[in-house]
Structure 1
């Protein structure tokens, strides 16, 4: 959670790198997801540090701005849910319960829903660091997903899973004992070895 100005700058920089934003004029003019994430992080900073009527009013203004940008892109993402390094892959429907806690370096795709159970009192999911959430995934209920977990496209996850796994299916089950970091590491090693052969 963003509690200081240094936290705010750290979150922004981690998000920028996760989105691969270079800071070019093109990115400044056309990268709508980056604009949304910057507004979300500013809202989190101001909301979490507001101490008087002026800063609370500014937080209310930023809340409206985030909501407006979110509607344009199809996002319903409240403040203080995601850790640093958030990477929203594409514009399109993403709905996140405001009480969810999702760790650092989350890559999330379109048509994802992360929410509570049938009861309003039910706790929503807690998701660890370095997780990948594929298109169309539904994650709900009082569950925990560990670190380095990949959730496959269109998976329905309603039970807890440990770290370093890939889950998929309806209902979700373990389909690999490797998580997204393991897959990325293997890919990068494959690319280096291929380039060495040329």
Structure 2
């Protein structure tokens, strides 16, 4: 969670690296990068600015994040993802507000990180987790660091072993390969993996 201006800048930089962007700022057609920057700005204002103007601006930013998300299919609440978020494609992504995801998460389209039956119990994902297209992580489950979740997998039980690949319905270990091959190589080049 962003708690200072320095952390805010660090989150922006790690997100840029995780997306594989070499420029300093997104172009108008870089909708994913623009969304992530807006998300981080809203988190910064929500967590760090307690003045009346800061709170008002925070609500405005949250409104913009919601509208941007609706336009491109992202339902991602504030303060869920650690630094290094990498959304691979525009498309439906639904995340529960009670979920917690570590650094360097790469998430594909049509994925869900959610609770079950309206409960507040949501998943906790470790660092360097990859979620393939159509993956679902549902309920009060925890996923260890460096885990790759395959396309269309449904994770409903804990994945306590780090550095493996799970797939299937329900998800089970299918490989001892970690998620690093699915993350942007620039993270390793910058020593962030």
TM-score by length of 2: 0.91
Distance 1:177-1:31 versus aligned 2 partners, 3 A rule? same
Q: What runs of 5+ residues in structure 1 fail to find an aligned partner?
A: 188-198
User: How do 1:48-127 residues align onto structure 2 when only pairs under 5 Å count?
Assistant: 48-121=47-120, 123-127=121-125
How many residues are treated as equivalent by the alignment? 183
| Aligned partners of 2:72 and 2:91 also within 8 Å | yes
> Whole-Å Cα distance in 1 between the matches of residues 79 and 40 of structure 2?
9
**Rg bigger for which structure?**
1
> Whole-Å Cα distance in 2 between the matches of residues 139 and 68 of structure 1?
25
> Whole-Å Cα distance in 2 between the matches of residues 141 and 179 of structure 1?
23
Partner residue, 2:147: 149
Matched, 1:39 2:38: yes
Partner residue, 1:4: 4
> Whole-Å Cα distance in 1 between the matches of residues 182 and 73 of structure 2?
28
TM-aligned CA deviation for residue 98 of structure 1: 0.5
> Whole-Å Cα distance in 2 between the matches of residues 174 and 46 of structure 1?
40
Partner residue, 1:130: 128
TM-aligned CA deviation for residue 24 of structure 1: 7.2
TM-score by length of 1: 0.88
Q: What runs of 5+ residues in structure 2 fail to find an aligned partner?
A: 186-193
TM-aligned CA deviation for residue 179 of structure 1: 1.1
User: Which stretches of structure 1, 4 residues or more, deviate above 6 A after TM superposition?
Assistant: none
User: How do 1:181-192 residues align onto structure 2 when only pairs under 5 Å count?
Assistant: 181=180, 183=181
Question: How big is the alpha-carbon RMSD for the aligned residues of Structure 1 and Structure 2?
Answer: 1.7
Partner residue, 2:13: 13
TM-aligned CA deviation for residue 118 of structure 1: 1.8
